[in-house]
Amino acid sequence: MSIERKVQLVENLFSKLEQEAAQFEQASGLSCAAGCGKCCTYPDVEASPIEFLPWAFHLFLNGEAEKTIIKLNNTQNSTCFIYKPLSLINHGRCSNYKYRGLICRLFGFAANTDKYGTLRLATCKIIKDGQADSYNSTSEAIAKGLYVPVFTDYYMQLNQIDFKLGHTILPINKALKKALEEVLHYYAYRPSVHLGKACG
Ligand code: SF4
């Protein structure tokens, strides 16, 4: 399958999730605090390369893939490379929100299945503590059948697009690098005739 096709399929999956997450957000009343990017600062965020394939392809189309790999190679920081701090007091934001990965889209508004097969909303302490009433009522509603996006379902759908790139879970900056390498490798021996057309 071509890189363009994989990118399109990943973007279709993200569009579907966007609708489901918006419905869940509305039903639950839960929301991220304005300007909060705290979850992006965790040093142990992991992701699969394929969820950053649209990001890598976008950089490639803009001639920025190689220099971004060099920057990633030189970074000692394990915080997401795409995260940009705005101040010294821990505020920041995603500098490429449109091309953020699946983990970024799911966290806070999706559930994991625990060992008893029960769905547990995976969200941060800020939401759990700051919106405790909504969090508790949403957890009860999920137990009674409220639809919530589920991590494993979405990751299985990514695996179906490209098993190797979807199944491999890496520290986020390694996943970003692998996605860039995949795009660069694919086009290393192919003419770049589609570049203008494919740019979205
Ligand atoms: S890609 Fe953006 S949203 Fe995802 S962890 Fe990095 S900074 Fe946060």
CB 38 within 8 A of CB 124: yes
In a domain, 199, yes or no: no
Under the banding of pLDDT at 50, 70 and 90, the label for residue 197 is very low
Euclidean distance between CA atoms 146 and 133, whole angstroms: 16
Check pLDDT > 80 for residue 64.
yes
In a domain, 198, yes or no: no
Question: 80: CA distance to ligand 1 center in Å?
Answer: 6
In a domain, 59, yes or no: yes
pTM value is 0.88
The amino acid at residue 199 is C
Euclidean distance between CA atoms 113 and 152, whole angstroms: 8
With a Cβ cut-off of 6 Å, ligand 1 is lined by 40, 45, 80, 82-83, 94, 100-101, 104
Number of structural domains (the chain) is 1
In a domain, 195, yes or no: no
Domain that holds residue 87: 3-189
Question: 46: CA distance to ligand 1 center in Å?
Answer: 11
Under the banding of pLDDT at 50, 70 and 90, the label for residue 192 is low
Check pLDDT > 80 for residue 200.
no
Question: 36: CA distance to ligand 1 center in Å?
Answer: 12
Catalogue the long-range contacts made by 187-194 (C-beta closer than 8 Å, 24 or more residues apart).
Answer: 187/3, 187/60, 194/4
Ligand 1 atom 1 nearest Cα: 100
Give the ligand 1 atom nearest the CA of 81. 6
- Of 15, 173, 17, which Cα lies nearest the Cα of 83? 173
What does the pLDDT look like over 107-134, one tens digit per residue? 888 999 988 889 999 988 999 899 999 9
Check pLDDT > 50 for residue 157.
yes
In a domain, 194, yes or no: no
Q: Residue 102: its pLDDT value, please?
A: 96
Check pLDDT > 70 for residue 75.
yes
Question: 75: CA distance to ligand 1 center in Å?
Answer: 16
Question: 83: CA distance to ligand 1 center in Å?
Answer: 6
Q: Residue 199: its pLDDT value, please?
A: 43
Q: Residue 89: its pLDDT value, please?
A: 56
Ligand 1 atom 8 nearest Cα: 40
In a domain, 78, yes or no: yes
Q: Residue 108: its pLDDT value, please?
A: 84
What does the pLDDT look like over 79-110, one tens digit per residue? 999 998 776 555 678 899 999 999 999 988 89
Question: 144: CA distance to ligand 1 center in Å?
Answer: 32
In a domain, 196, yes or no: no
Ligand 1 atom 4 nearest Cα: 104
For a pocket test of ligand 1, which of 104, 106, 176 has the largest count of ligand atoms closer than 8 A to its C-beta?
Answer: 104
Q: Residue 65: its pLDDT value, please?
A: 96
What does the pLDDT look like over 5-63, one tens digit per residue? 999 999 999 999 999 999 999 999 898 888 788 888 888 899 999 999 999 999 999 99
